Amino acid sequence: MAVQTQAVSSKAGGDRESLLRRALIGDALFCAVAGAAMIGGSSRISQFTGLTPNWVPAVIGVGVLLWGVEVGYLGRREALSANTAKLVIGADIAWVVVSYGVLVSGGLDLTTAGKWTIGILAEIVALFAVVKYLGLRRMRS
C-alpha cells in the first residue's frame, strides 16, 4: 500500500510540472529551428531584415541555438527547479525588452520586414514566458 501512495504522489508532482516542462521543451524546439534557420540562411535573412553584415544573423542564430539546447536540457531534467525556471523566464523577458528597445531606438537600419520580424519573434518569446510562468505557478501549488 505504501508503494502505491508513493507512486500517486510522484504522479501528482509530475502533473504539476507538466505545463512548465512542455513550455520549456516547446521553447527549446522553437529556438533550435529558429537558430538553425538563422545560421543556414544568414545571408538571405540579412537582406530580408537589414541586419548587416551578413554574418550577424548567423552569430545570433548560434546563440539562440545554444540557448535552446540549454532550455531543452532543463526541461528534460527529472526534477524541475523553480529558481531555474525563474531565470529562464527572466531571460525571456530580457529578450523581449531588448527587442522592443531595438525597435523603439531605431539604432539599427532595419527593413520594414526586419522590424516586423523582431516584433513577432518578441511576441512569441513573450508567449513562452507567460506559459512558463503559468507552469511555474501550477508547479508550486
Q: Which three cell numbers stand for residue 78?
A: 527529472
100 vs 15: which has the higher pLDDT: 100
Using pLDDT thresholds of 50, 70 and 90, give the confidence band for residue 64: very high
Give me the pLDDT at residue 91, please: 97
pTM, entire model: 0.85
Name the residue with cell 531571460.
Answer: 91
| Grid cell listed for 26 | 516547446
Residue 27 C-alpha cell reads as 521553447
Residue pLDDT, tens place only, 95-129: 999 999 999 999 899 999 999 999 999 999 999 99
**CA–CA separation, 119 vs 124, rounded Å?**
9
Q: What is the predicted pLDDT for the residue at 13?
A: 52
98: its cell numbers: 531588448
- Looking at residue 25, its pLDDT comes to 97
Contact by Cβ (8 Å): 134, 18: no
Residue 16 binned pLDDT confidence (cut-offs 50, 70, 90): confident
Look at residue 58 and tell me whether its pLDDT is greater than 60. yes
- Kindly report, residue by residue over 38-50, the tens digit of the pLDDT: 999 999 999 999 9
DSSP string, 85-136: HHHHHHHHHHHHHHHHHHHHH--S---HHHHHHHHHHHHHHHHHHHHHHHHH
CA 64 to chain centre: 8
Residue 19 has pLDDT above 60, yes or no: yes
The average pLDDT across 64-87 equals 94
In angstroms, the CA 88 to CA 71 distance is 8
- CA-CA distance, 69 to 73, in Å (whole number)? 6
Grid cell, residue 28, equals 527549446
d(CA 100, CA 113): 15
